[in-house]
């Protein structure tokens, strides 16, 4: 059996053809494909606006800039996420705090979050960055009620969850990133994600003011919009109105993203079928804890995470069988850099217990039946 990784991109001939068209066109960057990708993605997610950027980390950074995160501001996030969720706050001079995760969903425990806010002086925090871990949607409706009570903004890290949804109190499906309850939402188009552009990211929002600020900040803070120019010397004239960054995504990346987006919905269905097969195979193996999914949730399954006691032994056993699993994630507060801020083991016991036993199995739409059967057989063999 050839090597099987935990995640893998799928590039088709159609994807290649679309990129080649751009290579033969007049625009490699700052051209029409950027706007097309933004509009198509916004429609897919269900948001009013979308801004294509260089990667998910830059998307987070831009959100914090647009929300005016500054030195002295404190933002809460999950300890179980990629470090960029927290790092993006530090880039702006802000401070990061964490709140523990839910034992079932592995996303922020909203009850513990609210208790943390209750026990803190009023005005301690500026905002929250919840994470839709593995593709499981945070209940941002409930989170919005908490945020409004404490005057907090919400930036939803939905990198794992395009296509996922939860059902709100009005029995409406709320897709991750649609902006119904959060201020800003971010996505990543890294190769192992649902949509691959090589590197790339997107910010979505329903707030026009934030959208315009994101567009400005993502392109050096420069504008040629005649409606907001302080002066106008002619058709060549532009103004730098903010200290921005070059976070623009190229037309080549966007062409690939447009093509990949056409398969995104179908690929989430394939991921769910793969998850169903894993669940059926492992449901009677008492040493394996399979993912929890509530009845009113549609999981996007960027990752399929099991919990086992002999994690390292299973990881090595599978590696010897050419199956490459991964762990998502090492708690951010236990990273050496974050320990400098005073975080220690024991601060977030649920997150730490999760880390000790979590393992991400191969999960991607092109995983074949034979490959998945091989993974299942090897795991079953290990536990026998």
Inter-helix orientation angle 251-282/32-45, to 10°: 30
Instruction: Write out residues in the chain with pLDDT < 50, as ranges.
Output: none
The alpha-carbon radius of gyration of the chain (Å, integer) is: 21
What domains can be seen in the chain, in order of their start residue?
Answer: 13-259 (3.40.640.10), 264-383 (3.90.1150.10)
CA dist 348 and 131 (Å) reads 16
pLDDT, tens digit, 9 for 90 and up, residues 221-272:
999 999 999 999 999 999 999 999 999 999 999 999 999 999 999 999 999 9
The closest alpha carbon to 349, from 98, 149, 135, belongs to 98
* Amino acid 1: pLDDT: 76
Among left, alpha and beta (phi > 0; psi -120 to 50; other), residue 30 is left
Q: Are 196 and 190 in contact (CB under 8 A)?
A: yes
* Amino acid 239: pLDDT: 97
pLDDT, tens digit, 9 for 90 and up, residues 294-341:
999 999 999 999 999 999 999 999 999 999 999 999 999 999 999 999
Give, rounded to a whole angstrom, the gap between the first and last alpha carbons of the chain: 21
DSSP class of 370: H
The beta strands (E) that lie in 293-354 are given as: 297-298, 304-307
């Amino acid at each position: 059996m050839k090597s099987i990784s935990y995640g893998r991109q799928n590039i088709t001939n159609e994807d290649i053809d679309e990129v080649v068209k751009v290579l033969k066109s007049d625009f490699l960057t700052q051209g029409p494909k950027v706007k097309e990708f933004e509009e198509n993605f916004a429609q897919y997610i269900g948001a009013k606006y979308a801004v294509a950027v260089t990667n998910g980390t830059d998307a987070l950074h831009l959100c914090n800039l647009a929300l005016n995160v500054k030195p002295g501001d404190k933002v809460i996030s999950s300890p179980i996420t990629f470090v960029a969720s927290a790092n993006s706050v530090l880039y702006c001079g802000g401070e990061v705090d964490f709140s523990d995760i839910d034992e079932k969903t592995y996303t922020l425990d909203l009850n513990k979050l609210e208790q943390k806010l209750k026990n803190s002086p009023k005005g301690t925090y500026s905002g929250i960055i919840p994470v839709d871990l593995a593709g499981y949607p945070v209940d941002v409706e409930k989170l919005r009620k908490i945020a409004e009570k404490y005057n907090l903004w919400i930036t939803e890290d939905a990198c794992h969850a395009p296509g996922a949804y939860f059902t709100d109190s009005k029995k409406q499906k709320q897709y991750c990133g649609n902006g119904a309850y959060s201020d800003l939402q971010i996505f990543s188009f890294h190769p192992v994600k649902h949509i691959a552009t090589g590197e790339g990211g997107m910010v979505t929002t329903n707030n026009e003011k934030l959208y315009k600020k994101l567009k400005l900040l993502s392109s050096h803070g420069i504008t040629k919009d005649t409606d907001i120019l302080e002066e106008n010397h002619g058709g060549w004239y532009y103004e730098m109105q903010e200290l921005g960054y070059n976070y623009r995504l190229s037309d080549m990346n966007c062409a690939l993203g447009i093509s990949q987006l056409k398969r995104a919905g179908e690929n989430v269905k394939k991921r769910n079928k793969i998850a169903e097969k894993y669940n059926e195979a492992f449901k009677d193996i008492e040493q394996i804890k399979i993912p929890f999914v509530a009845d009113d949730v549609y999981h996007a399954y960027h990752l399929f995470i099991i919990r086992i006691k002999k994690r390292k032994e299973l990881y090595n056993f599978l590696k010897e069988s050419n199956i490459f699993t991964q762990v998502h994630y090492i708690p951010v507060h236990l990273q050496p850099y974050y320990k400098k801020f005073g975080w220690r083991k024991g601060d977030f016991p649920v997150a730490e217990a999760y880390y000790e036993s979590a393992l991400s199995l191969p999960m991607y739409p092109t995983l074949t039946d034979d490959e998945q059967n091989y993974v299942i057989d090897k795991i079953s063999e290990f536990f026998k």
